[in-house]
Amino acid sequence: MQCGLLDELEVCEHVQGTCVGEEPGGGGMPKVVTTERSLVVLEDVVKTYRMGETTVTALNHTDLVLDRGEFVVILGPSGSGKTTLLNLIGGIDSPSEGRVVVDGEDISRYGQRELTLFRRRKVGFVFQFFNLIPTLTARENVDFALELTRRHDGHGKLTAADLLAKVGLAERLDHFPYQLSGGEQQRVAVARALAKDPALILGDEPTGNLDFRTGKLVLEALHEVHVASGKTVVIVTHNQPLAAIADRVLHLREGRVSQIEVNAHPLEPEGIEW
């Protein structure tokens, strides 16, 4: 079923390259329709920033629902609000207005401490610049995240070696970040994100700093995680071809979701080119 929103929004379904639109919801209908599968819900979210004398609206009354197990790519020009959207979903930032609900938790009014705990339990991040801790080996970087989770809830089934093996780095466990290529580092970052067994994996330009070949390796890792464990993966990117591997593609413009594309048959990462 088509989930979501839907006020003045063009929703398209890609069927063999065709975008099929749907009528926006009319008066009386709720703006956001959620189901049991809904993992992320944004309701009428506004995010404004003060920049000197002026106020910038990064997100302007945005509504959105993301389902469990979805692979979502967010596209949009610079300044369209895609990173802000990711930050709000990931609990790095809080909305100025509206609600952000993730996995049943309304995080909109959380303080720093609650947001930290939320990120620790529910979100795995993959950054553009990998951001591994340089003094720790690949195994230790993943262990660091595991230690966080174990400290919190005693969860201890996964090992760093297992997770690194999942992303194809079984042979590079004891290498330090400076001894790994960019692609390998990003795969360690994916393993670190998985370590906490999060409900949601967020990637902010995860291939933005990689060449085509290594970027694809990272996408493969993320895709495999998504397929194997059914994790919800949300990627923000400028890179249009990445949209082909997503279940849904959200286009942002001027702080609002301007278009949603649904891929009926998303491609495997090896199938894309950029």
CA–chain centroid gap for 123, Å, is 9
Stretch that binds other proteins, among 3-11, 61-69, 140-148, 258-266 (CB under 8 A): 140-148
Closest CA to 39 of 207, 205, 192, 248: 248
Handedness of CA 114, 120, 125, 131 (dihedral sign): positive
Q: Examine residue 110 and tell whether it contacts other proteins (CB under 8 A).
A: no
Q: Examine residue 120 and tell whether it contacts other proteins (CB under 8 A).
A: yes
Q: Examine residue 121 and tell whether it contacts other proteins (CB under 8 A).
A: yes
Q: Examine residue 161 and tell whether it contacts other proteins (CB under 8 A).
A: no
Q: Which of 10, 159, 176, 258 binds other proteins (CB under 8 A)?
A: 176
- Residue 8: CB atoms within 10 A of its CB come to 9
Task: Give me the least distance between CB of 65 and other proteins, in Å please.
Answer: 22
Query: What whole-number distance in Å separates Cα of residue 131 and Cα of residue 192?
Result: 11
Of 9 and 59, which has the nearer Cβ to other proteins?
59
Query: Which residue matches tokens 């609206």?
Result: 57
Of 12 and 168, which has the nearer Cβ to other proteins?
168
Q: Which of 98, 182, 241, 254 binds other proteins (CB under 8 A)?
A: 182
Query: What whole-number distance in Å separates Cα of residue 241 and Cα of residue 221?
Result: 17
Query: What whole-number distance in Å separates Cα of residue 184 and Cα of residue 175?
Result: 10
Residues that bind other proteins (CB under 8 A): 83, 86-87, 90, 92-93, 112-113, 116-117, 119-121, 123-125, 127-137, 140, 143-145, 147-148, 176-178, 180-182, 185, 192-193, 196, 204, 209
